[in-house]
Amino acid sequence: MKKDLISYTIHLADSALILGHRNSEWCGHGPVLEQDIAITNISLDLIGQARNFYQYAAQLTGNNTTEDTLAYLRDAREFKNCLLTELPNGDWAVTVLRQFFFSAYQYLLYQQLQHSSDTQLAAIAEKSLKEVTYHLRWSSEWVIRLGDGTSESRQRILNAIEDLWMFTGELFKPADYEIEATAKGFGVNAELLKNDWLQNIKAIFEEATLPVPDENAWMQTGGKTGSHTEHLGFILADMQFLQRTYPGCEW
């Protein structure tokens, strides 16, 4: 049970960390100051969630493991984040749609994780849910704004849907450690979240006058089990540079 709990906790941490890092790349580059601050704050929220999960995973692992060793001293094959979180930012439409897809999933996930038999996971989920509620509202408003805006904004969000949709299926395809986590009561059955997620997506897309892609379309998977796109390696090279160059350094 402990091995599956560690893997499940690290999976939750990895997805939050990688998306948080991706969003942080917008800091100082947002389209307007208010949204620059918004996306930066969302990055901080996600990285904070990752820290909470990593700290718990480190406690479970022992052997002098820390949140820093889990974040900075693992290679790409050891990361268990969903592929969606590691994709390039693209333009603003890609970034906000990626956040919308993931936040809609995370919102449902944390709602259920609050009832985990593991009190620490439940506590992290309860605290994080308040943040994710804002992330979902913010990204939903942007999807509507772009979809029902100008011809330019609409085309950009349509292009973003085409690029990202194939990566959403992995959110609901459980890895072995997720299956075990569900069976043992401390995890959430991701498959059962799909219908509610789709309904939320359809509701926002309808308001944005956007077409909903085929839910049975082919989906890209592999991130949860360590098979990543080429993009993750570049993220880690950037994120882990200081710790790998100066091992053990601290602020």
Q: Which domain holds residue 218?
A: 2-245
Is residue 250 assigned to a domain? Answer: no
| CATH number where 172 lies | 1.20.1260.10
**CB atoms inside a 10 Å sphere around CB 34:** 8
Radius of gyration of the chain (CA): 18
- Residue 251 banded pLDDT, cuts 50, 70, 90: low
Q: What is the pLDDT of residues 43-64, one digit of tens each?
A: 999 999 999 999 999 999 999 8
- Mean pLDDT for the stretch of residues 156-181: 97
**What's the total number of domains in the chain?**
1
Q: What is the pLDDT of residues 199-242, one digit of tens each?
A: 999 999 999 999 999 988 999 999 999 999 999 999 999 999 98
3-26 residues labelled b (16+ CB within 10 A) or e (exposed): ebbbbbbbbbbbbbbbbbbbbbeb
Predicted confidence (pLDDT) at residue 250 exceeds the cutoff of 80? no
- Mean pLDDT for the stretch of residues 115-134: 97
Share the mean pLDDT of the chain. Answer: 95
Is residue 251 assigned to a domain? Answer: no
- Mean pLDDT for the stretch of residues 76-90: 97
Is residue 12 assigned to a domain? Answer: yes
Predicted confidence (pLDDT) at residue 94 exceeds the cutoff of 80? yes
> Cα–chain-centroid distance for residue 215?
20
Predicted confidence (pLDDT) at residue 77 exceeds the cutoff of 70? yes
pLDDT score for 31: 83
Which tops the pLDDT comparison, 77 or 30? 77
Predicted confidence (pLDDT) at residue 144 exceeds the cutoff of 80? yes
pTM over 0.75: yes
The half-sphere exposure of 49 on its side-chain side, counting CA atoms within 13 A, is 31
Cα–Cα dist 30/24, whole Å: 10
pLDDT score for 245: 86
Is residue 39 assigned to a domain? Answer: yes
Task: Decide if 171 contacts 197 (C-beta within 8 A).
Answer: yes
Is residue 19 assigned to a domain? Answer: yes
DSSP 8-state code for residue 145: H
Predicted confidence (pLDDT) at residue 1 exceeds the cutoff of 70? no
